[in-house]
Structure formats: C-alpha cells, structure tokens
Amino acid sequence: MTVTRFAPSPNGPLHLGHAFSAIVAHDLAKADGGRFLLRIEDIDGPRSRPELADEFRRDLEWLGLEWTEVAPQSARLGRYAEAAQALQDRGLLYRCRCTRADIAANATETGPDGPFYPGTCKAAAIPETEPAAWRLDVAGALAETGPLEWTDTLHGDQPARPQLLGDVMLVRKDLPASYHLAATLDDAADGVTLVTRGADLFNATHVHRLLQGVFGLPVPRWHHHPLLLGDDGRKLAKRRGSPSLADRRLAGEDGRALADDLRQARFPAGITLSPFLSGEA
C-alpha cells in the first residue's frame, strides 16, 4: 500500500505550487488504494502561525482532497532530541557557531544550496555555554553506512551522494531540528512509503538517505515532481507573494475544477511547469 504525505509549514498561506504538490501526493496514494497524510511542520519558531493550519485544511477540502492527519512536528520534539543525542554519542555531530555570512566569507566552493560549508568548526572546541548549531559529520556517517542508493520513480536508481551538500546542519541554534532531521524521522514514524516533493529538493534526498542508513530506518521511494513557475521563471513561493489558495477560495473559485486543471497541466496565465532540474541529479 502506498502512503504519501503533504507536510506544509504554517508560516504563510498555501499557493498553487502547494496545491500541485498536494494533488500529486494525494493521487499517487489513492491510485494504489493507499493513504494520503497531512502533517503540519510547525517548529519554525515565531514564524509558525497555528491559525494557518486550519486554513490549510480548508484549502485541501476545497480542492476535493481526502487525507488522514498525523501528529504535527511540535508533538515530536522528544524524538528529535533523542535522535540528535544518539548521533552525538556516536561522534557524528559537531557544534558549529558559523553564521551564513561566515560561511559565505570562508567558502572556497559553491554547492547546490550556495556557498559550501568549509568545515570551519569541525575541530573547534566550542564551549557548551556558547550558542551553537550541530552539524552532521557526513564523512564519518558514510564510513559507518558504506555506499547507499535510493530510487526516484521518475528518474530511476540514484547513488547516495550526501557529500554534495557537505556537513549539513541537523540542529539549529534556535530550532530543535532542521528539515533534514525532522522530515527523515517523521516520514519513518508515519510509515511513508513514497516521499513526494518538488524537484528542488532532489539533492536533500541524498542526505535523508544517509540519515536513514545511520538510524537503520525503512527506505521509501521518492517522487520528485516538476515545479510550478511564475511569469518570472522562478518557482512559486510564499515569500514572493504568490497568490494564495485561500484568496481564490474566498473569491468563490471552484477548487475541484482548479485541481482538475492542475492535473491536466492547464495552468493559469503566467504559470508554467518546470523541466526536471538536471543539475539536481
């Protein structure tokens, strides 16, 4: 049975890109008689707005989707802490006080997510009293797991290459877990068998597969779908003010008809579907 999930963060309203992603996940699960889960990723500090979760539910219902809701991330903090402590005990996490500006100033190469972290703090003795994030020692983790692979339903078998992103942050200074740690643990806990998300997160999967290997978690398949692009050629985003689903819903638009249009690649004016980002593979 296929189990998929849609996991929005309540730090801004949903837009057409979210609708497309939710529909893809919903339809892939339902076509197999499976389950489509809703998980609210609500640990983004003061940016998380609890009232938006209700808006998300109304949006999904308006689109005609059916789902099972699972525990939000805010109810899973103990699990994140336990996992981080286990990595610390195994010597696979190290403290890091570098800011983005520090990394940009000291990086000697650029990775898929921007300036590549040069390992500045890997051998540093940072006092426990000083605020710091925790980074994964990718080389150390790979030494434990050995070579790994994962499968994307659109792009086939992939060798896991977490070194593309370097020693990623797993616990932030101000948050109990990064996306990498939380999403990996949550998908395993929720029994997700097919992780559906945009092609912009293709490289993140290399890290998630490594974490699954380190923790001995079940390995799902992945489906990295194309992105919806605005008339500026960039993916739709909350921070750029992409029109919200709630505005469309409150204006009386037919949500089920919109969902059918998205399924058939009939997009509103100015919206296009991206090709797969070949540089992500």
Identify which of 256, 227, 254 has the alpha carbon closest to the alpha carbon of residue 242: 227
Q: Give the angle 206-211-216 at the CA atoms, nearest 5°.
A: 125
Q: Look at residue 280 and tell me whether its pLDDT is greater than 50.
A: no
Radius of gyration of the chain (CA): 19
Residue 45, domain CATH: 3.40.50.620
pLDDT per position as a tens digit, 47-81: 889 899 999 999 999 999 999 999 999 999 999 99
User: Which structural domain range is residue 96 located in?
Assistant: 77-149+160-171
Whether residue 51 sits in one domain with residue 89: no
Same domain, 207 and 69: yes
What total of structural domains would you count in the chain? 2
Of the pLDDT bands very low, low, confident and very high (cuts 50, 70, 90), residue 129 is: confident
Looking at the fold, whether 134 and 12 belong to one and the same domain comes out as no
| Residue 245 backbone dihedrals phi, psi, to 5 degrees | -65, -35
Burial class (CB in 10 A: 0-12, 13-18, 19+), 97: middle
If you average pLDDT over residues 183-209, what whole number do you get?
Answer: 97
pLDDT tens-digit series, residues 226-237: 999 988 888 887
More confident residue, 46 or 219: 219
Reported as a single tens digit per residue, the pLDDT across 100-127 is 999 988 888 888 888 899 999 998 888 8
pLDDT at residue 91, rounded to an integer: 97
Most confident of 121-135, 136-150, 235-249: 136-150
Q: For residue 127, what pLDDT is reported?
A: 84
Confidence of residue 279 (pLDDT cuts 50, 70, 90): very low
Whether 235 is a known active-site residue: answer: no
Q: What percent of the chain has pLDDT over 90?
A: 78
Q: Is the pLDDT of residue 182 over 50?
A: yes
- What are the φ and ψ backbone dihedral angles of 194, each rounded to 5 degrees? -140, 110
Give the largest CA-CA distance in the chain: 59
In the predicted model, is pLDDT for residue 278 greater than 50?
A: no
Q: DSSP secondary structure string, the chain?
A: --EEEE---SSS--BHHHHHHHHHHHHHHHTTT-EEEE-----SGGG--HHHHHHHHHHHHHTT---EE---GGG-HHHHHHHHHHHHHTT-EEEE---HHHHHHH-SSEETTEEPP--TTTT----TTS--EEEE-HHHHHHHH-S-EEEETTTEEEE--GGGT-S-EEE-SSSS--HHHHHHHHHHHTT-SEEEEEGGGTTHHHHHHHHHHHHT----EEEEE--EE-TTSSB--GGGTPPBHHHHHHTT--HHHHHHHHHTT-PPTT-EEPPP-GGG-
> Final residue of a domain: which of 138, 171, 204?
171
Mean pLDDT of 139-168: 97
- My answer on whether 134 and 213 are in the same domain is no
Give domain status of residue 176, yes or no: no
Residue 154 lies in a domain: no
